[in-house]
């Protein structure tokens, strides 16, 4: 019995560990997405600054300024792609969690339905046993009545036999 209790508790701990691992992975993924969003905001601030920088003659933008702005914009686009990829992974985690919850709900619903069927079967068996108990009680009453009736019949028969023997003895005494 102790083996079964130990095995059951070990299985419960394993399932608990898996759920905690999924939760921690989800949290790590969220932190990664938040970090990428922070980087994107910083790069966008640099892009804004590069658009306002004018290092050319008479306050005009040079090719270098425009290339720098374009490079920052390209980095923002790459960061956006990374964010989308990480969000996809995050959504996959969420879908996995939803599937696990749905599976748990389905298992619970199935178990509840099985419990209901078992309860119904037990109620039917209980009703049947109650009917059988009532029938057996009535048959027991009939048997008791028959036993008492046969005892009375035996007593009457015994009385008649005894009285006949007494009459026979008195008749024999008188005839001798």
Q: pLDDT digit of tens for each residue in the chain (176 aa)?
A: 555 444 445 555 544 444 455 678 889 988 988 998 999 889 888 888 888 877 777 777 788 888 888 999 999 999 999 999 999 998 998 898 899 999 999 999 999 999 999 999 999 999 998 888 777 777 788 888 888 988 999 999 999 999 988 888 887 778 76
Question: Of how many residues is the chain composed?
Answer: 176
Cα angle for residues 113, 114, 119 (degrees, 5° grid)? 100
Please give the pLDDT value at position 18.
45
Residue found by looking up tokens 């039917």 in the block:
124
Cα angle for residues 51, 56, 58 (degrees, 5° grid)? 110
Please give the pLDDT value at position 3.
54
Residue found by looking up tokens 């996959």 in the block:
92
Cα angle for residues 163, 168, 171 (degrees, 5° grid)? 125
The C-alpha atoms of residue 68 and residue 44 are separated, in whole angstroms, by 13
Please give the pLDDT value at position 1.
53
Please give the pLDDT value at position 19.
47
Give the CA-trace dihedral at 137, 143, 147, 148, to 10 degrees. Answer: 50
Radius of gyration of the chain (CA): 48
The C-alpha atoms of residue 138 and residue 144 are separated, in whole angstroms, by 10
Please give the pLDDT value at position 174.
80
């Amino acid at each position: 019995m102790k083996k079964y209790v130990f095995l059951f508790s070990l299985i419960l701990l394993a399932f608990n560990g898996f759920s905690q691992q999924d939760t921690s992975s989800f949290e790590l993924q969220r932190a990664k997405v938040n970090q990428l969003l922070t980087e994107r905001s910083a790069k966008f601030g640099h892009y804004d600054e590069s658009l306002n920088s004018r290092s050319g003659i008479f306050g005009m933008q040079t090719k270098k300024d425009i290339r720098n702005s374009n490079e920052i914009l390209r980095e923002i686009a790459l960061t956006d792609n990374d964010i989308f990829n990480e969000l996809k992974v995050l959504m996959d985690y969420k879908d996995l969690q939803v599937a696990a919850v749905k599976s748990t709900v389905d298992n619970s619903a199935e178990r509840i339905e099985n419990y209901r069927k078992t309860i119904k079967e037990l109620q039917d068996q209980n009703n049947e046993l109650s009917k059988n108990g009532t029938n057996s009680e009535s048959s027991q009453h009939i048997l008791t009545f028959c036993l008492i009736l046969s005892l009375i019949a035996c007593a009457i028969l015994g009385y008649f036999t005894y009285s006949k023997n007494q009459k026979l003895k008195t008749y024999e005494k008188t005839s001798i």
